[in-house]
Amino acid sequence: MARCEVCFRHCEIPEGALGFCGARICLDGKVVAENYGKITSCALDPIEKKPLSRFYPGSRILSVGSYGCNLRCPFCQNYDISWGEEVKRVAEYATYITPKQLVHLAEKNVDKGNIGIAFTYNEPLIGYEFVRDTVKLAHEKGLKNVLVTNGTAETAILMELTPWIDAMNIDLKCFSEEIYHDALGGNFSMTTSFIREAVKTAHVELTCLIVPGLNDSEEKMREMAAWIASLEDGDGRCIGKEIPLHISRFFPRFHMTDRDATPVSVVYRLAEVAREKLSYVYTGNC
């Protein structure tokens, strides 16, 4: 048995078994990424789809995903590769690719507008070793590296990657410890700590999916925006006002089909609330 150090769960994993995320395994008394190099999704996406609106706008980026996740969001948009029984089937048929091969594929797409590699679709940090090994090679080739993450990881994991990560989109799913714990199976303080460190080293944009009855209050959006606005860079300068926030509309999905899509008017109103503190607020899925 060995202890995983990636996120707040610190799973004690028996030999040969997987942790909560479904992607980290104990082998020979050590926890490693069972999903290392196993790709389930790959596409040349517009950078705005990550979403990143103020990082090389108009470009494209080779986007790859594996499988597994350390949260349990009932509205998951990529549940078939993130958690549940379906992940076991997907894992079996994932395509293996080495970091060198992935970087070569990214280079081949430069003439199509590709600027680098985005690790996305599922939670990339549960397989951070593959990310780490790939981003080093990508930077050597002049490519940009992007993380699309839920920010549920120890600062030590982030620090292993920051020298080579150029941009991140991080989910800040709500501004409530209770909702993070009870509804999402997450840890609010870990996510906010992760964001606080990430903005010191990379271009960061944040995303909040607005779910009716869950995180759609103006009061909580005001708190979130004020917290974002207070964030500082590595030199202690307040830069939070300039951090882009993407406020997205929810549609019934996965285990959360018990409510209607978020009214567009609610998304627009919450965006206006956020703009009281932030310079760059974008609405999505409207």
- pLDDT of 120: 98
DSSP 242: G
Domain assignment present for 1 = no
Report the greatest alpha carbon distance in the chain.
Answer: 54
- pLDDT of 280: 98
Task: Give the chain's domain count.
Answer: 1
Q: Among residues 130, 128, 136, which one has the least CA distance to residue 157?
A: 128
The gap from C-alpha 165 to its chain's centroid, in whole angstroms, comes to: 13
Half-sphere exposure of 18 (CA within 13 A, CB side): 18
Domain assignment present for 4 = no
Domain assignment present for 14 = no
- pLDDT of 84: 78
- pLDDT of 93: 87
Domain assignment present for 3 = no
Contacts of 265 (CB under 8 A, 6+ apart): none
Q: 128 pairs with which residues across the strands?
A: none
| Number of C-beta neighbours around residue 160 at 10 A | 16
For each of the chain's 286 residues, which pLDDT tens digit applies?
Answer: 999 999 999 999 999 999 999 999 999 999 999 999 999 999 999 999 999 999 999 999 999 999 999 999 999 989 999 987 778 888 888 999 999 999 999 999 999 999 999 999 999 999 999 999 999 999 999 999 999 999 999 999 999 999 999 999 999 999 999 999 999 999 999 999 999 999 999 999 999 999 999 999 999 999 999 999 999 999 999 999 999 999 999 999 899 999 999 999 999 999 999 999 999 999 999 9
Residues in the chain: 286
User: Whole-angstrom Cα distance, residue 196 to residue 155?
Assistant: 10
- pLDDT of 270: 98
Q: Among residues 236, 234, 175, 237, which one has the least CA distance to residue 206?
A: 175
- pLDDT of 182: 96
**C-alpha torsion angle, residues 194, 160, 243, 238 (rounded to 10):** 80
- pLDDT of 83: 84
Domain assignment present for 21 = no
φ/ψ of residue 114, rounded to 5: -70, 135
- SS3 assignment, position 103: helix
| Number of C-beta neighbours around residue 5 at 10 A | 13
Domain assignment present for 79 = yes
**C-alpha torsion angle, residues 263, 265, 270, 271 (rounded to 10):** 120
Give me 53's structure tokens: 């609106």
- pLDDT of 86: 76
Q: 169 pairs with which residues across the strands?
A: 148, 205
CATH code of the domain containing 255: 3.20.20.70
User: Whole-angstrom Cα distance, residue 238 to residue 232?
Assistant: 4
- pLDDT of 107: 98
Domain assignment present for 23 = no
Q: Which domain holds residue 149?
A: 36-284
Domain assignment present for 16 = no
- pLDDT of 87: 82
